[in-house]
């Protein structure tokens, strides 16, 4: 107990480490669509050690457990709205714990499945209907969700694919709820190597030929009763900007494309963040997953070790850092593929993302075959971060209004 009058103990304070601070902002941004509470996020942050992934995962997994238990109690007492909302917060807390956990750690699967289960429980209490789906690719089971709004006309579908570390559930929170509010049905899907797929296929790795997955998703969407084939849109989030653009280049049934942001050369995109090209390093400087634990903290801290580990494992096995970056070179769109994208597109990027994402955003505009509407989000708007995580409401307004205007003319 304090002796002086205070308004509360929780303080608005982030992290010195830029990546962990971004992840905190990502969590805070989800408050707009029910994915978190500001107070709980800041309280958790106060207990997390800067740039320490283990303490981050511990705090957010404990938050997820506590929130899920609270939601279950409310559900038992018949409080449908409270149960729905608490399960959704728990889902996103578990996702945050999953993010900073090594993908080959058993807890990674535990957190991921807990996130998925909390989401499904949340949807049981929601007005919208959610159907679990499974697509396939070379023997892999690929999870997906088909979500229909309670007041949907059923003729407009927004397909959403996320990226390296996003999940189906996060896509629903960050982008899907805004689409449901505007009368769109959702098809959230995933491909090889992505976070949701990894939960069920621990040997899965990313594949550049994403159009094979996209074709199945389009087939499913257009087979639904009442869907207008002229009102089928596709959004790609983060690395999903590459996946979605790749699909649109090979799939003319996509009638509107939203890459957020347009990634047309993943290798150039990723090397710009570390300031060198690991693909050019001599073999003597290469290292594998097993070598990470022997690298001193002064050379690579715990956070970078986990991120490097996850990167290597999810781009293929056997893996090394140099081999991973050589593999990443395959994830690029040719000028011919960009020219093949003839549907209207909305290209989004934040001015705080760096020179290379901005360059690729411009190249996409220059080479895409159909009409392109560019949108640069700014620091003044509080939306300059990657995928506008700090201002999802503005991002939704820009995206959904453009979509309404574009599909309304088709």
pLDDT at position 317: 67
Nearest CA among 15, 3, 82, 6 for reference residue 303: 15
Residue 382 has pLDDT above 70, yes or no: yes
Range 13-126 has CATH code 1.20.1440.110: yes
Residue 329 has pLDDT above 60, yes or no: yes
Q: pTM of the predicted model, to two decimals?
A: 0.96
Q: What is the pLDDT of residues 82-130, one digit of tens each?
A: 999 999 999 999 999 999 999 999 999 999 999 999 999 999 999 999 9
Same fold yes or no, 13-126 and 129-265+331-410: no
Q: Quick count: other Cβ atoms within 10 Å of Cβ 302?
A: 16
HSE, CB side, 13 Å, CA atoms: give it for residue 404: 12
pLDDT at position 7: 73
How much of the chain, in percent, has pLDDT values that exceed 90?
91
Q: What is the mean pLDDT of residues 197-226?
A: 96
129-265+331-410 falls under which CATH superfamily? Alpha/Beta hydrolase fold, catalytic domain (3.40.50.1820)
pLDDT at position 148: 97
Nearest CA among 32, 126, 25 for reference residue 71: 126
Residue 271 has pLDDT above 70, yes or no: yes
- Tell me which residue has tokens 């708007």: 381
236 φ, ψ (degrees, to nearest 5): -120, 130
Q: What is the pLDDT of residues 283-316, one digit of tens each?
A: 889 999 999 999 998 899 999 999 999 999 999 8
- SS3 (DSSP) at 274: helix
- Of the pLDDT bands very low, low, confident and very high (cuts 50, 70, 90), residue 381 is very high
pLDDT at position 3: 67
Residue 2 has pLDDT above 70, yes or no: no
158, 187 Cβ separation under 8 angstroms: yes
Name residues whose C-beta falls within 8 Å of residue 375's C-beta, 6 or more positions apart in sequence: 346, 347, 348, 349, 398
142 φ, ψ (degrees, to nearest 5): -110, 110
- Of the pLDDT bands very low, low, confident and very high (cuts 50, 70, 90), residue 54 is very high
Distance between CA atoms of residues 83 and 157, nearest Å:
27
pLDDT at position 283: 87
Distance between CA atoms of residues 173 and 168, nearest Å:
9
134, 144 Cβ separation under 8 angstroms: yes
Domain-by-domain residue ranges, the chain?
A: 13-126, 129-265+331-410, 267-328
- Of the pLDDT bands very low, low, confident and very high (cuts 50, 70, 90), residue 409 is low
């Amino acid at each position: 107990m304090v002796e002086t009058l205070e308004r509360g103990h929780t303080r608005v304070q982030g992290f010195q480490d830029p990546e962990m601070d971004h992840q905190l902002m990502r969590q805070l941004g989800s408050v707009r669509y029910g994915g978190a509470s500001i107070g709980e996020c800041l309280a958790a942050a106060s207990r997390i050690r800067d740039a320490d992934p283990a303490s981050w995962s511990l705090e957010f997994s404990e938050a997820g457990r506590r929130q899920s238990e609270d939601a279950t109690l409310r559900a038992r007492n018949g409080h449908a709205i409270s149960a729905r909302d608490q399960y959704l917060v728990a889902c996103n807390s578990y996702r945050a714990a999953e993010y900073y956990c090594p993908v080959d750690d058993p807890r990674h699967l535990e957190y991921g499945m807990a996130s998925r289960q909390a989401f499904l429980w949340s949807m049981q209490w929601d007005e919208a209907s959610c159907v679990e789906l499974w697509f396939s690719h070379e023997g892999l089971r690929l999870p997906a969700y088909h979500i229909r709004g309670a007041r949907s006309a059923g003729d407009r579908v927004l397909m959403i694919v996320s990226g390296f570390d996003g999940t189906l559930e996060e896509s629903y929170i960050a982008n899907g709820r805004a689409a449901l509010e505007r009368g769109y049905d959702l098809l959230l899907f995933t491909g090889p190597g992505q976070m949701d797929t990894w939960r069920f296929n621990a040997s899965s790795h990313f594949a550049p030929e994403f159009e094979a997955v996209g074709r199945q998703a389009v087939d499913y969407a257009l087979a639904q009763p009442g869907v207008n084939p002229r009102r089928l849109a596709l959004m790609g989030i983060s690395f999903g900007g590459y996946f979605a653009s790749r699909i649109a280049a090979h799939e003319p049934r996509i009638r509107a494309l939203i890459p957020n942001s347009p990634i047309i050369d993943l290798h150039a995109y990723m090397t710009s963040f570390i300031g060198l090209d690991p693909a050019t390093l001599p073999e003597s400087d290469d290292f594998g997953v097993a070598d990470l634990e022997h690298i001193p903290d002064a050379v690579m801290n715990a956070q970078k070790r986990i991120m490097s580990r996850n990167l290597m494992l999810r781009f293929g096995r056997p893996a090394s850092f140099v081999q991973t970056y050589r593999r990443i070179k395959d994830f690029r769109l040719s000028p011919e593929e960009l020219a093949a994208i003839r549907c209207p597109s909305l290209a989004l990027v934040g001015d705080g993302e760096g020179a290379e994402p901005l360059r690729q955003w411009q190249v996409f505009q220059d080479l895409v075959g159909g009409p392109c509407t560019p949108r640069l989000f700014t620091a003044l708007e509080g939306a300059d971060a990657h995928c506008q995580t700090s201002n999802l409401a503005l991002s939704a307004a820009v995206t959904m209004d453009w979509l309404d205007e574009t599909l309304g003319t088709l």
